[in-house]
């Protein structure tokens, strides 16, 4: 009986402290300190939420820059994040990579395989990767330009402006947030939005 009391006591005590108290208090503190981040880093356009800063979105239209391949169903399903889990010697992996190369070449005339970064044809870990490499954006400019009528020079400048350097100058690598770049394209196409 003494043990029952001890076990229930220690369980209940720690549960009130770290099972309930900790998450609820931390939620309170976070809402005060970082209300924007704590609620999902929402990006707004004309008062309407159109994205989260950190979570990738699916773009497959010719007038927008495309992100990395996503293994979720449908692509970029943020409710069901998952990688492809394809192993290094799985035939499907090679087939997928080849067909993605073909899709890119079909949509961008004159694109050479040696210009395509490997990250643009291999799927990400979450299926929600928000970023692409700078080279991945640059090679898509001809397609976006053709579909939107925006000049290549303007789009190149847009890409340059959207390069995110390493965090604090030292962590991670140069990359581009696809959603932010496409938002800029959208703004250029809809000046009054």
Partner 1 sequence: MSIQTIITWVVVFAVFALTIKPIGTYIVRVFTFQPTFLDRVLRPVENGIFRVVGVSRDDTMNAKTYALALLLTNMAWALGAYILLRLQGALPFNPQHFPDISPLLAFNTATSFTTNTNWQAYAGGSTMSYFSQFAVLSYLQFVTPATGGAAAVAFLRMVSGKKIGNFFVDLTLMVTRLLLPLAVVVTIILVGQGVPETLAPYLHLRSITGQAQVLPRGPIASFEAIEHLGQNGGGYTNANSANPLENPTAFSNIIETVSMGILPVAFFYAFGVMTGRKKTAWTFVGVAGTIFVGMLALIYFPEAAGNPIINALGLHTHANMVGKELRFGVGGTSIFETSTMSFTTGSVASAHDSYLPLSSLSFFLGMFLNMVFGGKGVGLLNLLMFVIITIFLMGLMVGRTPEFLGKKIETKEVTLASIAFLIHPLLILVGSAIAVASPLGLQGIFNPGPQGLGEILYGFSSAAANNGSAFGGLGAALPFYEVALGIVVIIGRYGSIVAMLFIGESLLNKRSVPETSGTMRTDTFLFGGILWGSIVILNALTFFPIMAIGPIAEQYLMMAHHLF
Residues 6+ away with beta carbon under 8 Å from 9:
none
Q: How far is CA 103 from its chain centroid?
A: 20
For residue 48, what are the CA distances in angstroms to 35, 52, 61, 185? 18, 12, 21, 17
CB nearer partner 1, residue 89 or residue 109: 89
> Which residue in the set 78, 103, 105, 107 belongs to the binding site for partner 1 (CB under 8 A)?
78
**Which of residues 20 and 151 has its CB atom nearest to partner 1 in the complex?**
20
Residue 153 C-beta: closest distance to partner 1, Å: 23
What is the total count of residues that contact partner 1 (CB under 8 A)?
101
1-20 residues near partner 1, rule: CB under 8 A:
2-3, 5-15, 17-20
Per DSSP, helices labelled H in the chain are 2-14, 22-33, 35-38, 91-107, 134-138, 141-148, 152-161, 178-189
> Measured from the CB of residue 35, what is the shortest distance to partner 1 in angstroms?
9
Residues 6, 133: Cα–Cα separation, whole Å = 56
- Is the distance from CB of 70 to CB of 128 less than 8 angstroms? yes
Q: How far apart are CA 29 and CA 114, in angstroms?
A: 50
The least CB distance from residue 128 to partner 1, in Å, is 6
Contact positions with partner 1 (CB under 8 A) in 136-165: none
Report the site for partner 1 in 32-61 (rule: CB under 8 A).
Answer: 33-34, 37-42, 45, 48-59, 61
Nearest approach, Cβ of residue 149 and partner 1 (Å): 17
Find the binding residues for partner 1 in span 84-123 (CB under 8 A): 84-91, 93-94, 97-98, 101, 113-119, 121-123
On whether the CB atoms of residues 181 and 162 are closer than 8 A, the answer is yes
Among 66, 124, 144, 148, binds partner 1 (CB under 8 A): 124
């Amino acid at each position: 009986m003494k043990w029952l009391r001890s076990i229930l006591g220690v369980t209940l005590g720690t549960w009130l402290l770290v099972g309930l108290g900790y998450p609820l208090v931390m939620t309170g503190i976070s809402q005060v300190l970082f209300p924007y981040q704590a609620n999902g880093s929402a990006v707004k356009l004309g008062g309407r939420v159109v994205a989260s800063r950190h979570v990738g979105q699916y773009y497959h239209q010719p007038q927008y820059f495309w992100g990395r391949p996503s293994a979720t169903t449908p692509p970029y399903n943020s409710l069901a994040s998952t990688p492809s889990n394809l192993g290094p010697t799985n035939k499907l992996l090679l087939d997928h990579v080849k067909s993605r190369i073909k899709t890119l070449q079909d949509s961008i005339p004159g694109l050479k395989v040696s210009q395509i970064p490997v990250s643009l044809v291999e799927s990400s870990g979450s299926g929600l990767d928000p970023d692409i490499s700078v080279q991945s954006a640059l090679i898509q400019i001809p397609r976006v330009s053709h579909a939107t009528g925006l000049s290549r020079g303007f789009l190149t400048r847009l890409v340059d402006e959207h390069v995110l350097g390493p965090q604090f100058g030292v962590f991670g690598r140069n990359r581009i947030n696809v959603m932010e770049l496409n938002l800029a394209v959208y703004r250029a196409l809809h000046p009054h939005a």
